[in-house]
A and B are shown apart, each in its own frame.
Chain A
Amino acid sequence: MDYHAPESIHAAISLLVNAEGDARVLAGGTDVLVQLREEMIEPNHLIDIKNIAETRNISICAKEVRVGAAVTGAELGEHPKVKALWPGVVEAVGLIGSHQIQSRATMGGNLCNASPAADSVPALIAADGKVVIAGPNGERKISIEDFLIAPGKTALAIGEFVVALALPIPPTRTADAYLRFIPRTEMDIAVVSAGSAITLDEDGKCTHARLAVGAVAPTARLVKSASGILVDGLLDDDRLEQLAQATSAVCEPIDDKRGTVAFRTQVAGVLACRAVKLAWQRAMERDI
């Protein structure tokens, strides 16, 4: 295996295109190094993208927030503005592993690992995030839902890699939240998770709602009916009950070492309600 540390997008692409055998992109390494050690992957080339400036930046413009693919969880958490705009996304990334892991793990890596249980994903979907991809044919931008195809499988074509994640600048009175269920308090992979983004009008009525759940299907799922249940209404028990049911209905989990079908299905509904409540409350607290 050869390790490469290109310093430009162009150089990375040409390494990826010209690599003989299997090439893997390395960002924080907290998944890739484990997979290497456990011999789950045996690539011929490891292409470290951390030395490419675009992957290390956080930029905010009128339209969007761009978080470089190699920005670490710790760096994202320390950024005052992103957290104010999308607290749920930042919290989701902050839940990935220990403090030590946070010093290395990246949102880009979490996404590209394409685990059904990835913490950042439901939050990113709820926030309507996009993936910024660089490749031999230039840059393209696709939705998170389109990017994730199956466990361990993404829409990246040969020669492509993720440069950044883009989040919209949230509309007025919008907030998000992410919650996950783990049996311990830390260091576990999500057994079930839910991310939600809520927009309210001046009367506290919901005008826009997105809800996504993780670890309950091959890829994180957007609960499409959530919007119909929540929009134009206030948050009451009746709606929450409907929401829980609608969430459980989209779940197609498996039984594995981390949880059972019944448990995941039921708790997805619980977490969905809790995440919506939290996002709602945060949105209420925003004056703008």
Chain B
Amino acid sequence: MSKHFVSAIVNGDEVEFRCDSGETLLDVLRTKLYLTGTKNGCGTGDCGACTVLMNGRAINSCLVLGAECSDMSIETIEGMAVGGELHPLQQKFLDHAALQCGVCTPGILNMAKALLKENSNPSETEVRFGLAGNLCRCTGYDKIVRAVMDAAAEMRARRT
């Protein structure tokens, strides 16, 4: 296994790490950078628990190699609240009880953040299809969908 020396931006900070060719970004985040807020539910791209933003797009960090991340900008759940203030999505998830066990939550929040960047006023159907890559086994999705739509409304209101 060859080693790679990678520098990237994580949550706005420059970071450097060494990784094997086979190690994924998820491995790197969790074990090298100790950002354990990004969860591993499957490792095969099917659950979305590992969702982070890479250069602004939501990706499954389990399906990206650490070695591919040179100069990339990564946003994880740890960087979502800024300056002690929760992101509207985080706040709405709490307000709507959109989590039970919470293990799917970091991935869903990141996916929702990317979604709202593309579409600031999504319909229920758009939210549901937008989150289809994020499994939640606890909530039945109802409150998650409501929270995302409410956060979208709040973010629209803040902008105007």
Q: Which residues of A contact B (CB under 8 A)?
A: 1-3, 5, 26, 29-30, 33-34, 36-38, 46, 48, 50, 74, 97-101, 103-104, 185-187
- Which of A1, A50, A101, A103 is in CB contact (< 8 Å) with B22? A1
CB atoms of A34 and B21 under 8 A apart = no
| B133 CB-CB contact with A under 8 Å | yes
Stretch at the interface among B30-38, B53-61, B141-149, B151-159: B53-61
Number of interface residues of B (CB under 8 A): 31
- In the assembled complex, the Cα of A36 lies from the Cα of B46 at a distance in Å of 15
Q: Residues of B at under 8 Å CB distance from A?
A: 1-2, 4, 21-22, 24, 43-46, 48, 51, 54, 57-60, 62-65, 67-68, 111, 114-115, 129-130, 132-134
A13 to B115, CA, bound (A): 38
Report which of A74, A97, A100 forms a contact with B111, defined as CB distance below 8 A: A100
B132 & A37 in contact (Cβ 8 Å cutoff): no
- Closest chain-A Cβ to B96's Cβ sits at a distance in Å of 21
CA distance A250 to B44 in the complex (A): 33
Chain A contacts of B54 at CB under 8 A? 103
Q: Are B65's CB and A29's CB within 8 A?
A: yes
Q: Are A99 and B63 in contact (CB under 8 A)?
A: no
Q: Is the CB of B129 within 8 A of A29?
A: no
Main secondary structure of the interface of B (DSSP, over half): mixed
Which of chain B's residues have a CB closer than 8 A to the CB of A1? 1-2, 21-22
In the bound complex, what is the Cα–Cα distance between A46 and B68 (angstroms)? 11
Q: In the complex, how many angstroms separate the beta carbon of A28 from the nearest chain B beta carbon?
A: 8
Cβ–Cβ contact B132 & A48, under 8 A: no
Would you give 8 A-B contacts (Cβ < 8 Å), ordered by A? A3-B21, A29-B65, A37-B43, A48-B68, A98-B48, A98-B133, A99-B115, A100-B48
Bound Cα distance A100, B133 (Å): 7
